[in-house]
Amino acid sequence: MKTKKSEMGLLSVIWVGVSFIAGITFTASFAGVVTGTNENGENIGVGIHILWIFALEGVVAFMCAWSFAKLVKYHPQANGGGAQYMRTAFGKFWGLFMGVINYSVIPLIGMGLIVSMVRQNFDGGDNNLVGFDSITGLPTGAWGAWGSLYLDLIAFGLYMFAATIIFFGIKRYKYVSVIIGYLTWGITVLIMIFGLVAGFTSDTSGLDQYINNTGLGFTTFSKTFTTCFFAFAGIETFIVSGKNIKDRSKNMPIAITIIMIATTIFYIIFTLIVMFAVNAPFEGNPNLQIFKKFNSEFLRKFGPWLIITCTILMRFNSSIQVTLYGGSTLEPLGSQRFISKVFNKENSESVPVAGVMTTIIIIVITGFLFLFIPDFVQGIVKRKSPFNYGTIANAASILLLLIYYFVIPTAMYQGYKKRVKIRIWEYVAWSITLILLSFIFVMYFIDLFKGFLKTDDIQSILASTFQLLYLVLLIVIIFVLYFAYHKKIMKNIKDNEDEYQKLLDYEKLFKIIELNN
């Protein structure tokens, strides 16, 4: 959240951070990674192992975020986040590289929000409007094969409504965000209570099934790790707005530590409650099945709608924040003239209007590619689209991991140059983290290219094609912006004394500052 009118204190940063990152929607991928089966009917779900995988994810996410927390202390401001840090260490090209990669996650996060806002709530289970038979893969339910398209259009309309709230001003945006935050956490606590009651009052515990039925291996671990890492996305939002955090050199490391620990604990506890209350296998969104064990007809009907309301509110709130974050991410790129300078202008409410509008347009385009084309294909070929929450989360996670994959070496490099104070344990922990990230990257691309081998499955080919096309397109954009646009603009700016001086003044942000501590 970006504001020039006030600074956020430590407690405010922690509240906003936990509210933005943590939430009940992370279980949307559980049907595929916890209790999934392959085409031969073999169990490929990780089962109870999801608990220690989440703990490992929390440690990795913390170490990744810690590299940001370390670097934010030694820069004049946090504007640009990882892009600022990489440029300070390695030069302009790498600053642009990180800026584009950082921004490229926004549309994918938007897709994840749209899919899990509505579709995931009605995809299988008791609310089987877009269900598909687990054996034949053929559509069942009221809306059949075209259901995903209908539900995605509804969610897309809700996203557009959420995005427009930003234009009513930051003050109104804060009111909406805070109110929704309190509502969603209140409902979340209520859902957790119902889940515990359902587990303790039932004759059977779902935990036994998840303990005894697992298919853990290198492939299932890497898929689960990559998909679930998306649940930890968002800490970059507060790094980018770090210049508006009170006493950030002291408060940012504390905030990141508490946010990551609290988020990890919440995910583990909520997963335990879901497993306790819901018997395997999961069908669609397991959250909706928490109330199936109750004898009360009222609770069996009221419960799922309580979860649906919580999910929509949470995703609606995140849609507002992601759109504003996207606009703020473009601002430093415009200030450095990597893109048009129109993107560094803000209105009287400190809203980067051009950046926000561009983010909305890009999410519309990405939605057409990642959602609506696969939805149309699903309706025509009558085979379930692979572009569910898990697939989109997988694609977004690999870009998030790529960001950390570059920022961690940046922190280590600055430590090696004696510009930043790095302790031995940080070098060791970051080195181990990089080794793990390297493994995840290799497994991701192996799985990606396997999709092209399924010549009889057009949906799998589409999934792999769009993901690979997205990565290639990003590289092309980076080179075009730097060598075709930026180089030309810089030659013209040198002839304009006032504009050139402003750019030189902006360059002062790309340096390391001395700290007494």
Please give the DSSP secondary-structure letter assigned to residue 34. Answer: T
| CA 472 – CA 27 distance, rounded (Å) | 30
What's the alpha-carbon Rg for the chain, to the nearest Å? 23
Contact of 46 with 216, CB cutoff 8 Å: yes
Contact of 290 with 278, CB cutoff 8 Å: yes
Q: What is the pLDDT of residue 127?
A: 42
Torsion of CA 404, 405, 411, 415, to 10 degrees: 160
pTM greater than 0.75: yes
- The residues, ordered by sequence, that sit 6+ positions from 52 with a Cβ below 8 Å of its Cβ are none
Q: Which two tokens stand for residue 469?
A: 């096309």
| CA 32 – CA 27 distance, rounded (Å) | 10
Q: What is the pLDDT along the chain (517 residues), one digit of tens a residue?
A: 344 444 667 787 788 778 878 888 888 778 778 876 666 656 667 888 889 999 999 999 899 888 988 888 888 776 667 888 999 999 999 999 999 998 888 888 888 888 888 887 775 444 444 555 444 444 545 567 788 888 889 999 999 988 888 777 767 777 787 888 889 999 999 999 998 988 888 776 667 777 776 777 877 888 888 888 888 877 766 565 555 567 776 777 788 889 889 999 999 999 999 888 887 777 667 888 888 878 888 888 888 888 888 888 888 888 887 888 888 788 888 888 899 888 877 776 667 788 888 999 999 988 887 788 888 888 887 777 766 666 777 788 888 888 888 999 999 999 999 999 999 999 999 999 999 889 888 888 888 888 788 777 776 787 788 888 888 999 999 999 999 999 989 888 887 888 888 888 888 888 888 765 4
| CA 62 – CA 468 distance, rounded (Å) | 28
- The residues, ordered by sequence, that sit 6+ positions from 146 with a Cβ below 8 Å of its Cβ are 375, 378, 379
| CA 378 – CA 152 distance, rounded (Å) | 13
- The residues, ordered by sequence, that sit 6+ positions from 186 with a Cβ below 8 Å of its Cβ are none
Q: How far apart are the first and last CA of the chain?
A: 28
Q: What is the pLDDT of residue 238?
A: 59
| CA 292 – CA 170 distance, rounded (Å) | 41
- The residues, ordered by sequence, that sit 6+ positions from 465 with a Cβ below 8 Å of its Cβ are 452
DSSP SS3 for 43: strand
Q: What is the pLDDT of residue 237?
A: 60
Paired strand residues for 105: none
Contact of 215 with 44, CB cutoff 8 Å: yes
Q: Is the peptide bond before 386 cis (omega within 30 degrees of 0)?
A: no
Backbone angles phi and psi of 83, in degrees to 5: -65, -40
Closest alpha carbon to 141 in 283, 301, 299, 24? 283
Q: What is the pLDDT of residue 192?
A: 92
Side-chain-facing half-sphere of 404: CA atoms under 13 Å: 31
Please give the DSSP secondary-structure letter assigned to residue 512. Answer: P
Backbone angles phi and psi of 328, in degrees to 5: -70, -30
Q: What is the pLDDT of residue 135?
A: 42
Query: How many C-beta atoms lie closer than 10 Å to residue 244's C-beta?
Result: 21
Q: Where are the beta strands (DSSP E) in 315-414?
A: none
DSSP SS3 for 214: coil
HEC string for 241-296: CHHHECCHHHHHHHHHHHHHHHHHHHHHHHHHHHHHHCCCCCCCCHHHHHHHHCCC
Contact of 34 with 50, CB cutoff 8 Å: yes
Contact of 405 with 441, CB cutoff 8 Å: yes
In whole angstroms, how far apart are CA 494 and each of 338, 344, 434, 485, 503? Answer: 15, 19, 41, 15, 10
| CA 29 – CA 117 distance, rounded (Å) | 13
Q: What is the pLDDT of residue 134?
A: 46
